[in-house]
Structure 1
Amino acid sequence: MTQRFADILQGLMENRGLSPRAVSRASARAESTILQLLHGSVPPSPEILKDIAPVLQISEADLLAISGLASTSTASTPRTYRNSAEIGELVSIASSLSDGQLRRLIDVARNLKSEDHN
């Protein structure tokens, strides 16, 4: 199952134009962890999948099912990330920008954030 998941993960990342580094940065997971998942050398865990699902623009439940780790917990509903689809789309777009464009995007985001505090 680990290699099958690795192949699916690779496809999801390619379809969204995401590099291992982009997934790592957006999910706050080590790039080495993402690379190990891609090579099938480490099995996916629910904790890792929760962090990378929004970046991949896929629900955590779907990613768990793909990995064979379908959630059996009914005690609590997992909390989804706010605007996870939009954040995933933003990461996907940002990963294909030039360095200058990325810096401009960061500046725009910082300005928007500072507007909220005023």
Structure 2
Amino acid sequence: MTRQFAEILQGLMENRRLTPRAVSRASGRAESTIHQLLSGKVLPSVEIVQDISRVLEMSAADLRVIAGLPDERPQDHPAPYRAADGIGQLVAVASWLTPEKVADLIEIARSYRPEGTE
């Protein structure tokens, strides 16, 4: 199942124009973990699937089924970031933008940064 999941994950990422780095940053998972998933070297855990599903803009339940995992959400697994759902959606949407629009979006996001958090 690992190889099949790796191929499906690769297709989902390509379809959404997401790089391993983008998935890593938006999910809070190490980039090496994403590469290991894509190579089939590591089995996806329920927690990893939970974190990357947001970035792929799909339900964690669907991704758990694809990964061959039980269809249950870990009760004690907090999101890696307070706005994890929104960050995942933002990365997925931004992956379709032109480089100029991405630069504009970055500037807009920086304008929302609280003072002193440079």
Tell me if structure 2 keeps the 8 A contact 1:19–1:95.
Answer: no
Normalized against structure 1, the TM-score is what? 0.75
Residue 15 (structure 1) aligned with residue 15 (structure 2): yes
Tell me if structure 1 keeps the 8 A contact 2:5–2:40.
Answer: yes
Normalized against structure 2, the TM-score is what? 0.75
Task: Identify if the C-alpha distance between structure 1 residues 69 and 101 changes in structure 2 by more than 3 Å, giving closer, same or farther.
Answer: same
C-alpha displacement at 1:21, in angstroms? 0.8
Q: Secondary structure at the match of 1:54?
A: helix
Give, as a single letter, the amino acid of the residue that structure 2 aligns with 1:33: T
Alpha-carbon displacement from aligned partner over 1:80-115 (angstroms, at most 9, x marks no partner):
99793x6444213434643x653431221233466x
Unaligned residue ranges in structure 2 (runs of 5+):
none
Q: Which residue of 2 aligns with 1:3?
A: 3
Unaligned residue ranges in structure 1 (runs of 5+):
none
Task: Identify if the C-alpha distance between structure 1 residues 83 and 52 changes in structure 2 by more than 3 Å, giving closer, same or farther.
Answer: closer
Q: In structure 1, what is the Cα distance between the partners aligned to 2:90 and 2:13?
A: 14
Tell me if structure 2 keeps the 8 A contact 1:13–1:56.
Answer: yes
Which structure dedicates a bigger proportion of its chain to helix? 1
Alpha-carbon displacement from aligned partner over 1:57-100 (angstroms, at most 9, x marks no partner):
11000010110102257x96x9999793x6444213434643x6
Q: Which residue of 1 aligns with 2:106?
A: 106
Residue 30 (structure 1) aligned with residue 34 (structure 2): no
Tell me if structure 2 keeps the 8 A contact 1:61–1:71.
Answer: yes
Give, as a single letter, the amino acid of the residue that structure 2 aligns with 1:54: R
Task: Identify if the C-alpha distance between structure 1 residues 7 and 107 changes in structure 2 by more than 3 Å, giving closer, same or farther.
Answer: same
Tell me if structure 1 keeps the 8 A contact 2:57–2:92.
Answer: no
Q: In structure 2, what is the Cα distance between the partners aligned to 1:56 and 1:9?
A: 9
Task: Identify if the C-alpha distance between structure 1 residues 28 and 72 changes in structure 2 by more than 3 Å, giving closer, same or farther.
Answer: closer
Q: Which residue of 2 aligns with 1:60?
A: 60
